[in-house]
Structure formats: structure tokens, C-alpha cells
Copies of this chain bind each other. A is one copy, B any other.
Amino acid sequence: MSISEKYFPQEPQSPELKTAIPGPQSKAKLEELSAVYDTKAAYFVTDYYKSLGNYIVDADGNKLLDSYCQISSIALGYNNPALLKVAHSDEMAVALCNRPALACFPSTDYYEILKKGLLSVAPKGLDKVCTAHTGSDANEMAFKAAFLFQASKKRGDKPFTSEELESVMENKLPGTSDMVILSFEKGFHGRLFGSLSTTRSKAIHKLDIPAFEWPKAPFPQLKYPLDQFQAENKAEEERCLKALEEIIVNSPAKIAAAIIEPVQSEGGDNHASPEFFQGIREITKKHGVILIVDEVQTGGGASGKMWLHEHYGIVPDIMTFSKKMQNAGFFFSEAGLAGDQPFRQFNTWCGDPSKALIARTIIEEIKDKNLLTSVTETGDYLYSKLEAISAKYDKMINLRGKGRGFFIAFDAPTPELRNKFIAECKKLGLNIGGCGEQGVRLRPALVFEKKHADILASIIDQAFSKI
């Protein structure tokens, strides 16, 4: 019996469509909701009671195979029994009804929850964790940690000056900081004011919002398939590494940290080689720049490793997470300590034990059901099938993500054709997501198996035949 059959004996065998999507029920509910809540980005209204395993069910009873999974944030499929069990437990009820201010009044069981959960999958070299609330929040807390680390390194044992203490209340130097965070072209790190200043994905994410004038470095634009463009791609990565080092050396402001996704997700599933990331690690270390690896979308097992950067053999200073873990935060070692005084890195909740329990359960299931192995094998199987389909259609280009589990993507030749492709997939019962200008990203849950891959590949094949 396969993993998904154990978890979801009642999972649909294939997509089942009853109406157009959105159907009449979805439309009626969206109209009702739109009077009080912004629904401009809505695809359809979802019945989470009926969704199961790899299938998302909408308000009209349409059952779609889901390879988007709430923008890459469902780890174990819908209504996973292990999650339902912890959701019904007393420890969950106590966590939900008594949400603590964790930094002031930590719970008696928080250490054990972290130890069995998040800390048991801490990436190499980063043995501490700071829990947060969303990916944007995790990234901004990581930025703060980097600023505080660099400032205290610079200040040494000296106390704050009266000039610092006064000027900071006016948001002015020297109390505030003129250090900066470097990010990479097409990167996405969130949408709050600090994180949005490092986000370089699309103009519509940033227009009309004030931003810090922080620097950006080029990210390699590789040519696919990778094995056919080795020399060009190597040169492109070397160009980017050289540019990074020049930006750091010539920066008028101290660069406190550089933040990078191990695969740029929102910005188009842009990959780079392990050597490129090793180069990033070397350059940042050499120049005293904290390296923050943003695993908000890439982390949690979808690449066949718990964290995608583990494919590259690097050890960052800070690694952020959210989405599939359902609990946001960052792992750190020395660089995340945020100084000797309390209340510098602080907020009311500092995380959420109910989410830490969900994360612990997801991690236990990943281990117990060997989901990383399953993702690797299913990912390879799916990649081969897509390679064959890609060979059939001129419109399916730049297939990428080989050897990266489910972290597979491809492009259509234009944004219009990409959008048409996604619409065709929906008509065939597949929920699938775009990324970048003309990319399509696969983000199934970790319980997606070969039988689902067969259906997915078949629908992709049909959809390309129609556009």
C-alpha cells in the first residue's frame, strides 16, 4: 500500500469536474465575501472539509489534483490523519486557548516541542531557532538579527552614546543604522517594508510602496537544459559572483547581510549550481557579510532534502523558513543572537505553540513515512515524463529542477501562453501555479506519488496540445 493510500484510503482516483471553475457556488460565495473581504486574487472557493490528500475540492464539488497546494504550503496533503489527530489533542487545545508571549512566559513544553520538531531538522551548523509568524516576518527578524550582530561587532564593549539614544527617536543616524541588506535580481523575500525592499520579483509587488535604497546583485540567468549549456552557464555564474564581490567592496554602506533563495521561486524558479552558492558563501564570509538563506518556499522537503540548500553543501549564517512548516522562523548560530540585552529582538508572541505542534507533526511524518525518499524518487519519475512531453511541444521550454525532487518548473514562450496553459489545466482538473513572467511551477504536497505524477503529466500533455 502506498503512502497516500495509507493516509487517504478515500482519495479520489482522478479529477472529477462537475461545473466550469469557478462554478455557480464559488461565484455566489465570492460575491458574498467580496462585500467584506478583498477577493480580487481569488481562483475559487474551496471546501476544506471535502478536500483530501492530493485533491482540492471546490464549493461546487469539483475535485482537482492539486500541484499548487496553497502556494506551496501544504506538506502532507489535505486532511492528513496525523495532523487531524494532533489538531484534536489536548496539547493543541491548551496551545490554542492560552497563546503565550513566548519570550516572556515560555511554556513548560516548548523546549520538547521544538526539540522533537523544528530543532530535529535544523540545518547543519545552525542549532538555535527563533520562531516567528510568517515568511516575511521571519526574513525581517533575520535582517534585524544581522543588523544587531554587525552593530555590536562594530561597537564592541562601548555603551550606546547619548547621541545614538537621542537620534534614534528621530529615526536618524547614528542611532538608527545606515547598513543595508543585499538581495538578488528576481528574488522574493516578502511584502512588508523591509522584506519588500529586498524583493525584486515583479513591479506590481512594489509599486507605490516606500522602500529602502538597498543594493541588489545579479542572479545567474541560466540556459536550459543545463547539460547542453555548461560553459555558458559557468561563465554566467562567474559574472554574477564577480559582480557580487564588486558590489560588496564598492558599497558606500556596510552590507550587513545578503539574502538569497536556493531556488528563486516567486521570481520564476530560477536555479543556479552548487558551485555558484559555494561562491556566494565564500565571498560573504570573506567580507564579513551575514549570509541568510531564505527557505520559505524551498524548505520543508519538497526538494527531496529537508532544506534545498543542503543540495549545495553550504552552511549559511541564518536560514529562514515558513510555508510547508506551517510555523515560521529562522535557524541561526552566533549571528542570530541579537546582542546581550533583552527586548532588542522581541514582539508579543514570538511564535505560536499551536503552529509548533503542527510543524512537529509534519516533521515526524516526514521521517516516519520516509517522505524525502519518496519525493526524490517520484520527482525523478515525474521529471523523466515531463522531459518526454517537453520534447513533443515547442511551447514547453526550459524544463528545470532535475534531481531536486518536486522543485520542477518549465516555461511557456510568452506570459499569455503560460496563462492559457494554466487555464487549460484547470479545465482538465489540475490546479497549478505560475511563477515569474512565463513560468509554471510544480508544488505538490510531499504525499504526491507516481500515480498522481501520471495524471499530472497526462494533463500537462493535453493542455500543451490545446494551446
Contact = CB atoms under 8 A, between A and B. Distances in A.
Interface of A: 29-30, 32-33, 35-49, 51, 56, 59, 70-71, 73-74, 78-80, 83-84, 87-88, 92-101, 103-108, 110-111, 114-115, 119, 127-131, 133-137, 140, 143-144, 147-148, 151-152, 160, 164-165, 168-172, 175-180, 190-195, 197, 200, 203-214, 216, 322-323, 326, 337-338, 340-349, 354, 358
Contacts of A172: 213
A48 B348 contact: no
A258 to B, nearest CB: 15
Best-surrounded residue of A36, A128, A323, A342 (most CB of chain B within 10 A)? A36
Given A46-B106, A348-B70, A93 B87 contact: yes
B206 A48 contact: no
A380 to B, nearest CB: 28
Contacts of A203: 160, 164-165, 168-169, 175
B78 A99 contact: no
Contacts of A346: 41, 191, 205
A434 to B, nearest CB: 12
A99 B104 CA distance: 28
B96 A354 contact: yes
Contact of A192 (B192, B200, B208, B340): B192
Contact of A98 (B44, B74, B128): B74
Which of A39, A41, A46, A164 counts the most B-chain CB atoms under 10 A from its CB? A41
Contacts of A70: 98-101, 104-105, 348
Given A83-B96, A97-B87, A207-B164, A108 B29 contact: yes
Given A36-B115, A165-B207, A192-B193, 18 more contacts: A33-B110, A36-B128, A36-B129, A38-B338, A42-B104, A45-B106, A47-B107, A48-B95, A48-B98, A48-B107, A56-B105, A134-B348, A168-B206, A169-B200, A175-B208, A192-B192, A192-B194, A204-B341
Contacts of A36: 111, 114-115, 119, 127-129
Q: How many copies make up the complex?
A: 2
Contacts of A170: 216
| Nearest 8 CB-CB pairings of A with B | A193-B194, A151-B208, A40-B342, A87-B93, A41-B342, A171-B211, A83-B97, A48-B98
B135 A137 contact: no
A19 to B, nearest CB: 15
Contacts of A133: 133-134, 137
A208 B78 contact: no
B208 A108 contact: no
Interface of A is mostly: loop
Given A137-B133, A208-B147, A71 B343 contact: no
Contact of A93 (B88, B98, B322, B349): B88
A408 to B, nearest CB: 20
Contacts of A194: 192-194, 210
B48 A210 contact: no
Given A147-B210, A200-B169, A203-B160, A347 B136 contact: yes
A105 B207 contact: no
Contacts of A59: 108
Nearest to A51: B98
A137 B214 CA distance: 21
